[in-house]
Structure 1
């Protein structure tokens, strides 16, 4: 018997891949023209000492407005590919009810949900593969995160994406030597992520960039706080989710029969 190929989910995966390419292009365009700047916000008088200045990190160009929208479109296509996969399996097995890929809060709820939604009627081979994929909290982190991010993007404003640059810390030699002698750590090799809006204080008349040894790489997009994949790079994460979803489709292509 020839191997099954689920073309409809794969069309969604192809669309997601194109969206990721667009996201990469937008991120590169931003990185090429956006330079980090430390802008003075206010001056703090210090009695008997040189005044201190509060600086805020800003980029010379605003992030692309379309970037969060492209990320949301990518997530939607990846998540939709899973629903379409289950629908295609249902059609293959003569089931006319509309199905969706089940996601649950835990393993026990997953079993109940598959019974309630009729997914269990698609066959034990389908049920076992879904159980193996563990699409619940505490199970498959990437799969559950894809579902949660897609919900966030559908029911709220587009996911805010923070642009970070990285700076190497510049420590006084005496302090770095002291830390190195006691801990073995070289603080001058440490890299600090700097988000737009990050603040630093320097003495008036000094170069605020002297707080940092160097900028280590151009600005890049990262997921914000309080969402799945918090603090992780957007492009790499999307590519990982694409590979994961492709592998899920392959699992069903290789492991089930029409009847």
Structure 2
């Protein structure tokens, strides 16, 4: 059962393999320079990225293909389940999602199947904003967005292996090691730390002391999240959902 859904996941995962390869090939060329500055009135270090070449256009296209296959896997499973019920399979037969709980419940109750347990099963995913299955709703939103615009990624620093802050008198104020970076509101990497005084300098080797990655842009749910671990997490969530479909059919009366 649900072989079509599993094939869609398999294809989506192959796109993830291709995406990882494309990203790695780009980053291994070190197509960027980094500049570091700190806020003299605070404790924030900002790392600015300057690209010598743009990220390959294939990255958002492969990402979109993976997203679509994973979203479609849920629709395939729902279609097959409704068929097993003897329900109506038409162009409106999709895996239900919703922006909020009331609308989501209404969508589940509107599924054209004679079996109430199927409607309850689909409702149990809670694939709406704030529900336990929010990631499946987020996948749906990504798929819709990709149908209208390119999901343009951003290249940025994800972590710093080593950075030294030196006071104006030449004394080392602190050494930052193995520090994960956050993002400011416009997508620049930043580190919040203590011990920075006006006039301090920062010693930092961009080639050996930083880890650079590719992130989602300014989008809902996955804003500035690293692309590869995020899409892998989504794939795992979809695989788990299809497993639930399988168990539901095998165990129901």
TM-score (norm 2): 0.75
Give 1 or 2 for the bigger CA radius of gyration: 1
3-state DSSP of counterpart to 1:84: helix
3-state DSSP of counterpart to 1:33: coil
Determine the C-alpha separation between the residues in 2 that align with 1:231 and 1:58: 17
1:10-32 per-position Cα deviation (integer Å, ceiling 9, x unaligned): 11101101100010000110111
Corresponding residue for residue 77 of structure 2: 85
Determine the C-alpha separation between the residues in 2 that align with 1:228 and 1:9: 24
Which has the higher relative contact order, 1 or 2, with Cα contacts under 8 A spaced 6 or more apart?
A: 1
Confirm or deny: 8 A CA contact 1:220 1:233 kept in the other structure: yes
**2:232 is the alignment partner of 1:236:** no
Determine the C-alpha separation between the residues in 2 that align with 1:254 and 1:188: 47
Q: How does 1:1-259 map to 2 (within 5 A)?
A: 5-38=1-34, 57-98=49-90, 99-118=93-112, 121=113, 123-139=115-131, 140-155=133-148, 157-165=149-157, 166-167=159-160, 168-172=162-166, 176=173, 187=176, 190-192=179-181, 211-215=202-206, 216-257=209-250
Count how many residue pairs are aligned between Structure 1 and Structure 2: 220
Change (3 A) 1:106 1:194: closer
1:99-120 per-position Cα deviation (integer Å, ceiling 9, x unaligned): 11111122222221223342xx
More helix by share: 1
Shift of 1:212: 4.4
Confirm or deny: 8 A CA contact 2:154 2:214 kept in the other structure: yes
Q: For structure 1, list consecutive stretches of 5 or more residues without a partner in the other structure.
A: 40-54, 178-185, 201-209
Determine the C-alpha separation between the residues in 1 that align with 2:178 and 2:227: 25
Shift of 1:171: 1.4
3-state DSSP of counterpart to 1:159: coil
Determine the C-alpha separation between the residues in 1 that align with 2:241 and 2:105: 19
Change (3 A) 1:64 1:193: farther
Change (3 A) 1:218 1:61: farther
Change (3 A) 1:191 1:212: farther
3-state DSSP of counterpart to 2:245: helix
3-state DSSP of counterpart to 2:165: coil
TM-score (norm 1): 0.74
3-state DSSP of counterpart to 2:28: helix
Determine the C-alpha separation between the residues in 1 that align with 2:108 and 2:34: 54
Shift of 1:238: 0.8
More strand by share: 2
Confirm or deny: 8 A CA contact 2:154 2:215 kept in the other structure: yes
Q: For structure 2, list consecutive stretches of 5 or more residues without a partner in the other structure.
A: 36-46, 191-200
